[in-house]
Structure 1
Amino acid sequence: MAERIDAHFVAAGKYHDIDFARLEILKLLAEHPQIRTTVACDYADTERLAQCQFLVTYTCDLMPGEAEAAAIRSWLEQGGKWLALHGTNSILRFTETGVDCPDERPEVMEMLGTQFKAHPPIGPFTVEVADKDHEFTRGIDDFEVVDELYLSKTTAEIDTLMQTRFEGEATGFVDADWPETVVPILYTRDIGKGRIVYNTLGHCRGHYDLPDMEPFYTHPERCAWDYPVYYDLLRRGLGWAMRTGG
């Protein structure tokens, strides 16, 4: 008989179809009846997090407060597991010169290992498997995907499992011009006894997710969610999070 596993899921933020992502991830969690998940729209419930084996986040432009970030780091150091998805590492400020991603929360970005800085228009790119003998990647070949390519600044030591390459313009961002860059797509970061697994894929946007810019967004976007390999990666991430240790 499987033992109960407690999990906490933060799903909230801007410019994305959070409802869609929340439901899809909850479906994957529901494949394991022993997982008992609480769902939140911010990082405030650190008491609940302390009771959990793992944390899942799908957010955009949503940071934990200083005390919350310290509590998360302490929880990680003691062995917590954090499956961070897509925009978890994003801070967005709209300026006259474009979207800025300022270094306002260096302690959070150091904890996560990267900070989002820009993305080019949604389009196709090749995801390369950098480590073919890892539990997250074993048996997966390089693949093509249409998604929002997250260009990031590395802020701490990470172990890149999947990557891509980009050179060009991230239209509309302050950091718009990018020389040829190796971009992490899936990576791990160890903190004390705990670990973060970050998967930057998975943009989604529905009709009603840009209320201040476009009241009805004509063409909904599902990006990596349209690809079976993305669900495979999510399931592998949850399988890792469920396991004791490692």
Structure 2
Amino acid sequence: MRGGWAGHSPYECCGIFEKFLTLHDFDVEVADSLEVYADLPDVDLIVQSWTTGNLTEEQEEGLVTAVRNGAGFAGWHGGILAFGYENPRYQYLVGGRFVFHPGGFVPHRIDIAAEHPIVAGIGGYDVHTEQYYCHVDPTLEVLATTTFAGVGEAPETKGTVMPVVWTRRFGAGRVFVNTLGHSPDDLLLPPTRTITERGLLWAAGG
């Protein structure tokens, strides 16, 4: 699923992982309209890259039901977190929502916070991109975090440890979220790409 605000390069970013999934024997179908959620076929994985907008009641019902029944749901950055603010069931499914990124593009560190196949063998690393401040569900399985320095318009965030990568179980489905991924360059950074690729496979049940 790709579309919405063009500033997050949904077509280019999805292209990176479309190739990856095809190489892992997935039959990939690309949708450019949220209408597909209203009548989802039986799938192993739904990857969403759609910033801004909301789901209709029928679309929200279709997506939430599909994941609860066993479909994986995965995405990165605003394509999954800056979307559906008027859809409470979607928000609960994802486990978080984007609030803001103080300071804009800032250097910060990603710290690995758990032992999990998605982050196995990956150490902490530095990035220079948007640092997402989110409202998050306390039940998430957090795999990576970042610590805010209190820059820009939000000095009160100094010292805040925020989830960057997380998973959650939702009924019979699996959900994977990576807050990194503003641009293709961000996603192509080797540790970020590896985490995202593994996250997609994990969400699909692998």
Q: Normalization by structure 1: what TM-score?
A: 0.74
Q: Percent identity?
A: 25
Kindly name which structure, 1 or 2, has the bigger radius of gyration based on alpha carbons: 1
Q: Higher RCO, 1 or 2 (CA under 8 Å, sep at least 6)?
A: 2
- Aligned pair in 2 of structure 1 residues 241, 107: CA closer, same or farther (>3 Å)? closer
Q: Unaligned stretches of 5+ in structure 1?
A: 1-9, 93-102, 205-221
Distance 1:77 1:129 in 2: 28
SS of the residue aligned with 2:91?
A: helix
Shift of 1:68: 1.2
Distance 1:38 1:178 in 2: 44
Question: Within 5 Å, which residues of 2 pair with 1:142-181?
Answer: 142-155=124-137, 157-169=139-151, 171=153, 176=154, 178-179=156-157, 180-181=159-160
Kindly report the root-mean-square deviation, in angstroms, between the aligned alpha carbons of the 2 structures.
Answer: 2.2
Distance 1:169 1:45 in 2: 40
Match of 1:129 among 89, 97, 112: 112
1:39-73 alpha-carbon deviations (Å, 9 max, x no partner): 11232113663321110112211332222112211
Q: Larger % of strand: which? A: 1
Question: Within 5 Å, which residues of 2 pair with 1:52-131?
Answer: 52-87=43-78, 88-91=80-83, 104-120=86-102, 121-131=104-114
Q: Larger % of helix: which? A: 2
Shift of 1:22: 2.2
Q: Normalization by structure 2: what TM-score?
A: 0.87
Partners of 1:114 and 1:156 within 8 A in 2: no
Q: Does 1:27 align with 2:19?
A: yes
Shift of 1:226: 4.2
Distance 1:49 1:183 in 2: 33
